[in-house]
Structure 1
Amino acid sequence: MQEQHPDPLIEEALRWSVVLKNRSVSADDRAAFDRWLQADPRHEAAWTQAQQVWMRVGKIGPAFANRAPPPKPRQPTPAPGARPPLAATPAMRPAVSRPAPVSRRRLFFAAAAVAAIAAPTALVLSRPGLFADQRTAVGERRTVALPDGSTIELAGASALSVDFTASMRRVVLQEGEAFFNVAHDPARPFVVEAASGHVQALGTAFDIKLGADAVVVAVSEQSVEVSLAGAPPVIVRDGQQVRYRAGQLSAVREADLAQVQAWRHDRLVFQEAKLGDVIADLERYRGGRIVTTDSRLRDMPVSGEFDTRQADAAIDTLASALSIRVRRLTDFLVVLSPKA
């Protein structure tokens, strides 16, 4: 599942919310906030939406959520020896003032609010497979039979569209992961489009996974040709895999097919995978969002095997192994943060 990234302006507005909610907020902080608010008309709209988000996530700040932006204060003259404002450090204010980091607890709640930015309607409309011919729900696994005798097994939260003509068999994988078992028909090439690449089956069985930052193609029978704009096509044979992203095609290497296809048996297997990628996979089987309060957590290496039918147990196992704190704010929102 591709991760949904929050609007950076709303995220910044939420961080201002954290600063202004701090009991030690100064007049300089408020002045810096006002400069940010007036710098761009989009900032005011982001601020309004941020307040709504803040209120939605567990009613974090009921007294604060309905407040209007603070009135513009007189520019104060700092007293000798006065502490600098929370939002005034040079690293955080290159041109327009930005809020500086505050306590871990407040950033925890800010991150949780960022995760809930998209309203339900907006979230649904933003899904790449909304109008797909075939799609699976979270946690569902289903096999689709095609008119030519080919079959496609869809993983959870996956979507694709099919376009068969007299001369071409075309499938577009729009979201998630799928295993293809292609019927031989040299008169009609079977081509799968996934992100920026094309995978042409050469009478074969193969897996394609749309990851957060790359597409992975792994072949279990015969071979496929993977082509990408700006790069020469490569042949991937059985027992091999290749990764690609926009304009970049990796070298072909050996694939661990048991690991690649574990999802077909309700398992997820990881070997030195980034926690961010593990989270993306778990979301396809658990539903909702799993967010982190510290971006460094997403790069932590993970090795292990998990049951897709027990995604919450997998989260708890990861938290124990990696010394991560887990907060379940709602049934659909889990927040991971470093232990103090």
Structure 2
Amino acid sequence: MSKTKVDPITRAAIDWILRLESGHACPSQRQVFKAWLAENPEHMAAWQRVAGLLKNPLTDLQSVDRRSPGQLQAARKALLETTSPSRKKALQGGVLLVLLGLGAAGVVDRITPLAGLMADQHTGTGERKTLELADGSRLTLNARSAVDIEFSAGQRRVRLREGELQVDVAADARRPFVVATAQGQVKALGTRFMVRQGTDESLASVQQHSVQLDTLGGLQRRIETGQVVSFTSHQIDPQTPTSGSQADWLEGRVELHDEPLSALVDALRPYQTGMLRISPEAARVRVFGVFPLDNTAHTLSALAQTLPIKVTRYGPWLTTIDVRR
């Protein structure tokens, strides 16, 4: 196979993968990176190309080996090598990731989410953060979340760009507290609630007192303690409380009661540095139990011992889950 050619700007973007790989880049490095992004529109375009998460189903990945027998295992072996220079060379060439069906790159967003870099506050993969806001409210961000905080004399506003938050609102009769998403806004009428920004919809759940939901399309609904709704700009749908609407992530865990394995995988993804893919058959396996979020490898290994599933790791970049054949 001939070596994949990468243009200089894309190569520079891939180099940033390697600099940020540990997830512990110092603030000065992040400032240099932000300056590089702002220097040229082509830099941002290249970063977006290599940072985009691919959402190909697991069956597409499996078809790689059917088309070219042995390539997937060869890539897995190379990715598992511990010698850093060889891994760097492979990444810069883009060859192994192409073999895995991941594109020229496509892993860096799993380490440093792009949306978070430009936000007022953000968390990386596997990171939770609690902030005390200027008004005394407490804002907690789940992993891979990003917010802009806009306080004025007349309103307290938090714009959720990505991910999930919970807020404990401090009383202030003169300034309402609002969490805005791409589909609408949730205004506090009490003290504690949670909001999640999904791909095409948002979710709001109330842990204490109530909130007022207003969608961009003009729909309104009051949500009381224990209630959960998902919403788009033009639709509000009450939801049955599940693991996905609970705030157990604040304590680093997720609890499932007869839910599909896909629900657990969704909860683990913000804590998994590499890509995590699950086959449709494995996604339907039912799960009970309480699972830690902060050690995804341990959680998945434990599941493989108790459920009829197989977990395969391709180095730090990709983990697949399939039913045991």
TM-score w.r.t. length of structure 1: 0.63
CA contact (8 A) 2:97 2:105 kept: no
Structure 1 stretches lacking a partner, 5+ long: 24-50, 66-108
- 2-structure distance, mates of 1:216, 1:7: 25
- Corresponding position of 1:5: 54
- 1-structure distance, mates of 2:287, 2:201: 18
- C-alpha RMSD over aligned residues: 3.8
- 1-structure distance, mates of 2:209, 2:244: 17
- Corresponding position of 1:80: none
Match of 1:202 among 175, 180, 189: 189
- 2-structure distance, mates of 1:221, 1:130: 32
For each residue in 1:237-271, what CA deviation from the matched residue of structure 2 results, as whole angstroms up to 9, or x when unmatched? 12222122454311266x57998122222221123
Match of 2:255 among 269, 274, 284: 269
For each residue in 1:307-326, what CA deviation from the matched residue of structure 2 results, as whole angstroms up to 9, or x when unmatched? 22332221123223331111
Q: How many residues align?
A: 258
CA contact (8 A) 1:218 1:257 kept: no
> Kindly, what percent of the aligned residue pairs are identical?
28
- CA 1:57–1:160: 2 relative to 1, 3 Å: farther
- 2-structure distance, mates of 1:119, 1:263: 26
Q: How does 1:1-340 map to 2 (within 5 A)?
A: 4-6=53-55, 18=65, 20-21=67-68, 58-59=77-78, 113-115=100-102, 118-120=105-107, 127-211=114-198, 214-230=201-217, 232-245=219-232, 247-251=234-238, 255=241, 260-292=246-278, 294-340=279-325
Letter of the structure 2 residue corresponding to residue 21 of structure 1:
S
Structure 2 stretches lacking a partner, 5+ long: 1-51, 80-89, 91-95
- 1-structure distance, mates of 2:174, 2:64: 61
- 1-structure distance, mates of 2:143, 2:180: 19
Q: Say which SS state the counterpart of residue 277 (structure 2) adopts.
A: strand
- 2-structure distance, mates of 1:110, 1:299: 28
How far did 1:333 drift?
Answer: 1.9
Q: Say which SS state the counterpart of residue 132 (structure 1) adopts.
A: coil
- 1-structure distance, mates of 2:219, 2:114: 31
- 2-structure distance, mates of 1:257, 1:333: 25
For each residue in 1:185-236, what CA deviation from the matched residue of structure 2 results, as whole angstroms up to 9, or x when unmatched? 2322211112313111113211123356653311122110112234621111
Q: Say which SS state the counterpart of residue 165 (structure 2) adopts.
A: strand
CA contact (8 A) 1:133 1:160 kept: yes
- 1-structure distance, mates of 2:64, 2:245: 44
- 2-structure distance, mates of 1:214, 1:153: 21
- Corresponding position of 2:44: none
CA contact (8 A) 2:208 2:225 kept: yes
CA contact (8 A) 2:112 2:124 kept: no
CA contact (8 A) 2:97 2:103 kept: no
CA contact (8 A) 2:167 2:193 kept: yes
Q: Say which SS state the counterpart of residue 309 (structure 1) adopts.
A: coil
How far did 1:330 drift?
Answer: 0.6
CA contact (8 A) 1:136 1:155 kept: yes
